Amino acid sequence: MLYPIIMAGGSGSRLWPLSRQLKPKQFLPLVNSEYSMLQETIKRLEGLETAEPRLICNEQHRFLAAEQLRELGMEQANIILEPVGRNTAPAIALAALQALSNEEDPILFVLAADHLIQDVQAFHSSVQAALAFAKAGKLVTFGVVPTCPETGYGYIERGKSVGQNGYLVSRFVEKPDLKIAESYIASGNYFWNSGMFMFRASRYLEELTLHRPEIVSACREALAGGEQDMYFTRVNAESFMKCPDDSIDYAVMEHTADAVMVPLEAGWSDIGSWSALWDVSPKDCNGNVFVGDVLHEGISSSYVYAEHRLVAAVGVTDIVIVETKDAVLVTQKSHVQDVKKIVDQLKSIKRHEHANHREVYRPWGAYDCIDNGARYQVKRITVNPGAKLSVQLHHHRAEHWIVVSGTARVTNGEKTYLVTENQSTYIPIGQVHALENPGVIPLELIEVQSGSYLGEDDIVRLEDKYGRVKPE
């Protein structure tokens, strides 16, 4: 039985402004409007004999990940939380160590949460071929049969054939320039590096101990000093921060004598840019992809995404337009790899648009900042049925809540009472308060904040059902 390990720690900055730090591309429905990339990754495992997938993600995405797993009926799925990103070699080491503590010696199937695979049957065939090598103690990587001289991917050069549908790995190659990529395609000996792997947990740790023992040591210490919080495995932050930052390719696969590559020809893409998303999306007769409320005249080979408003495009070719509630991106398709530079600019001038959407998700629901000024801010708040915000207070702002739909249970100082549709309540500065939805439908309310400082860091949490109160 395979033990799927899904890595969901990426930031997806090249798909800004749709992908943001607090809701990156793996949690977005980019290709299928019904399921996110993470959910699609899990669903394509159906038909294989696997254990329940184990997820590795960043601490700040824990509730988003848990909710998306819950939507698939995986209420108790284990999620390993990384306090900081340390690349793929340590992440897989955490999963391997944890797996060995619970199982005899499972075969790990390492997947990225943000890849597209269009031919699931072909994917399953490659997985079955890889399984035979993994059982024999090999460390398997999946090489995607290339369809063009892509400069955005790393490559794997195949060696001599072994077994059925396998090759020894001759070498791993960094992202090439176009001329070199064209020579790779012409040779027929190079494959795109998919970032997917399969091996026994013990074999991975043996090789990692041989080549990067300090990673194994730091991960053992981090797990030993961690704790189980509901379905979250929290590793010790201080120990994990000591761990070197390294990829599995550099740490293990480039050094091991037991690397085997299995070809994968299944419509794979890492959806690493807007042009990549255009490539895999259905197009009209002029090569255009339109999502949302779009009017167009005389445009071709373009991608236009309208999330919130009408977007109109006239007389353009090979262009990408992406509109969200708080940002608009316009770029030539040939320059989409440079979107990351805009994200870097936003970070450098300390703007929030690289991290948050205007609509921000929380474990209890979401809020949308619909207006703000020097001393006021207006939010639309949605609280899920049965959910409760933390018991908290603010030093610099008062809040006025108006219920639009549903019923709110409000704690306001020493009083607890219900507020229903078209009713309101007032929370003074410094007052201990809490908001809860006791009903079976979402609670919608408008919150008007007023005061000298309105930042999210003016929240003093006293109690919280989601574990967000730091111990003294």
Q: Per residue of the chain (472 residues), what is the pLDDT tens digit?
A: 899 999 998 888 999 999 999 899 999 999 988 899 999 999 999 999 999 999 999 988 988 898 899 899 997 788 999 999 999 999 999 999 999 987 789 999 999 999 999 999 999 999 999 999 999 999 999 999 999 998 889 999 999 999 888 999 999 999 999 999 999 999 999 999 999 999 999 999 999 999 999 999 999 999 999 998 878 999 999 999 999 999 999 999 999 999 999 999 999 999 999 999 999 999 999 999 999 999 999 999 999 999 999 999 999 999 999 999 999 999 999 999 999 999 999 999 999 899 888 888 888 999 999 999 999 999 999 999 999 999 999 999 999 999 999 999 999 999 999 999 999 999 999 999 999 999 999 999 999 999 999 988 899 999 998 877 764 4
* Orientation of helix 213-224 relative to helix 201-211, angle to 10°: 120
- Give 279-322 as a DSSP string: HHS---TTS-EEESSEEEES-BS-EEEESSS-EEEES-BSEEEE
Question: How many beta carbons lie within 10 A of that of residue 316, not counting itself?
Answer: 18
The backbone torsions φ and ψ at residue 203, rounded to the nearest 5 degrees and listed phi first, read -70, -40
Cα 250 to Cα 88, 153, 160, 229, 262, distances in angstroms: 10, 15, 22, 32, 19
Domains of the chain: 2-269 (3.90.550.10), 274-342 (no CATH), 359-463 (2.60.120.10)
DSSP assignment letter at 47: T
SS3 258: coil
Say which residues have a Cβ less than 8 Å from residue 65's Cβ, sequence separation at least 6: 8, 27, 38, 55, 57, 79
Structure tokens at 449: 């904040």
Strands of 65-126 (E only): list them: 79-82, 107-112, 116-117
Q: How far apart are the first and last CA of the chain?
A: 44
Say which residues have a Cβ less than 8 Å from residue 236's Cβ, sequence separation at least 6: 221, 222, 223, 224, 225, 226
* Cα distance between residue 243 and residue 463, in whole Å: 32
